[in-house]
Amino acid sequence: MYLIYEQRAVQSHFEGGSATARPTTTTPQDAAAVPSRPRPPQSRLQALLSWPFSLVWAILSYISRFVTRPAIASTAQRQDARSVADRFLREFEAKYGEQHLDFFQGGYSQCLEIARRELRLLLVILQSDEHDDTDEFCRNTVASDELIEYVRQNNVLVWGGNVREAEAFQALTFTSPPKKVGSTLQATAYPFMAIIGLQVPNPPSTTAPKMTVMDRLEGLLTPASVIRRFDSVIERYGATLNRLRLERDQRDKERQLREEQDRAYQDSLRADQEKERQAREKREAAARAEEEAQRAEEERRIQAMKREQYIQWVCRHLPEEPSADYEGEVTKLSFRLADGERVIRKFRGDESLDSLYKFVEAYPVLKSHADVSGATEPEEYHHTYSFTIHSPFPRTVYHADHERKLSDEKSLWPTATLIVDNNDDAEE
């Protein structure tokens, strides 16, 4: 009785307690796979005579399972679910061949989660090597072309386990504390199969749908019998699963639409930000260029002022033209200026070649008779002449040399004609 109560409590906990578990039914076609039952009087008599033994056996089984549960859980924790699945598959194929249902290569809980997430039916197969029907079940049912094709067409997940493995007794539900697979699925005879799927509570409530055992198949069944049971499950629960799939697809479409809208918004935002960045960089570049132009213009203005100040200072300090009574060496030079004007001036022999350049530079101011009495030499200024002085023939260029005297240049004595040419870069 303790065993019966425990099984009922486990079944209620796994199925959410929302509905009474549907009893396993056997169709007329399945009759061949189910042993015949004794007549009611005989059955009652046997039950009356055997109940003391059944009670003792149930109590001993309950105590044994309670004592061995920690050891089984510890063993299961040490075992890798995928390794167990690989071993189950290798042993199955070694005994029954490579043609069989496509077993999921992983733990039961992982397979159950995939079935829940993808709204697929899950076929759980538990077998025991100690049962005589195991070989025939594996060869004729699990390896059946008809059942393999049916499962494939209906996109059914298949998980298989041997009850001797700890994985078959591992904590494989989403509830806490976890339940054993065998106990949860209420496997009382082997071979055992269970069809599991996502089910909405009845009546509907705020509780989320949960994975529920929709049918249990025990004993030796033919592939046709299994398919009929599957068809019955699909007939009962197919509409609900289809509705859940439609709702999931709708949610996926809405999520995809939101993601596409978010991507489009982010792309548009990035494009706008890029345009704004480029516009900002252009504005900043234009501002920098304008600021640089203003600085350059200001520098040109300052340099022009300093140049003008320097020329006025040169006019003030330019040596006077030697008079007629000057007894030293004097040369008379004729300048043809860049604008075509001709100017004649006398220079002393001890003056430098630079004095020629100073005279040409200062001539426009001297010609205008501007007042340069207060002119001072500008600070932080380096004067550069924008012209070159040379003789016409033979062509000889005279540079603005502070050290070389006019008396050293024999071609300038006692008279010479000089040409003033503006430099190209200076004109530009």
Q: Answer with the one of 243, 269, 286 that is the final residue of a domain.
A: 243
**pLDDT attached to residue 381:** 92
Position 36 confidence tier, pLDDT thresholds 50, 70, 90: very low
**pLDDT attached to residue 228:** 95
Residue 356 sits in a domain whose CATH number is: 3.10.20.90
Query: Is 33 a member of any domain?
Result: no
Position 247 confidence tier, pLDDT thresholds 50, 70, 90: confident
Query: Is 36 a member of any domain?
Result: no
- The mean pLDDT value for 82-99 works out to 91
**pLDDT attached to residue 428:** 40
**pLDDT attached to residue 121:** 94
Query: Is 181 a member of any domain?
Result: yes
Residue 233 sits in a domain whose CATH number is: 3.40.30.10
339 and 231 both lie in a single domain: no
Query: Is 66 a member of any domain?
Result: yes
80 and 200 both lie in a single domain: yes
**Does the pLDDT of residue 50 top 50, yes or no?**
yes
Q: Answer with the one of 226, 243, 260 that is the final residue of a domain.
A: 243
346 and 238 both lie in a single domain: no
Query: Is 341 a member of any domain?
Result: yes
Highest mean pLDDT among 159-168, 234-243, 348-357: 348-357
**Does the pLDDT of residue 311 top 90, yes or no?**
yes
**pLDDT attached to residue 20:** 35
**Does the pLDDT of residue 301 top 80, yes or no?**
yes
- Residues β-bridged to residue 20: none
323 and 239 both lie in a single domain: no
CA distance 282 to 273: 14
What mean pLDDT value characterizes the chain? 81
7 and 105 both lie in a single domain: yes
**Does the pLDDT of residue 161 top 50, yes or no?**
yes
Instruction: Please give the residue that has the higher pLDDT: either 76 or 129.
Output: 129
Percent of the chain with pLDDT over 70: 75
CA distance 326 to 315: 21
Query: What's the structural domain count of the chain?
Result: 2
Closest CA to 211 of 85, 106, 111, 101: 111
**pLDDT attached to residue 108:** 87
Query: Is 179 a member of any domain?
Result: yes
191 and 55 both lie in a single domain: yes
Q: Kindly report the number of other CB atoms within 10 A of residue 178's CB atom.
A: 14
Query: Is 269 a member of any domain?
Result: no
21 and 143 both lie in a single domain: yes
Range of the domain at 93: 2-25+49-243
Position 212 confidence tier, pLDDT thresholds 50, 70, 90: confident
190 and 332 both lie in a single domain: no
**Does the pLDDT of residue 14 top 60, yes or no?**
no
Instruction: Please give the residue that has the higher pLDDT: either 413 or 424.
Output: 413
223 and 113 both lie in a single domain: yes
**Does the pLDDT of residue 8 top 50, yes or no?**
no
| pTM: predicted TM-score of the whole model, two decimal places | 0.47
53 and 193 both lie in a single domain: yes
Closest CA to 423 of 388, 390, 398: 388
Query: Is 164 a member of any domain?
Result: yes
125 and 210 both lie in a single domain: yes
Give 372-405 as a DSSP string.
Answer: -TT--PPSS-----SEEEEETTTTEEE---SSSB
* DSSP letter assigned to residue 159: E
Q: Answer with the one of 198, 225, 243 that is the final residue of a domain.
A: 243
| Contact (Cβ atoms closer than 8 angstroms) between residue 319 and residue 351 | yes
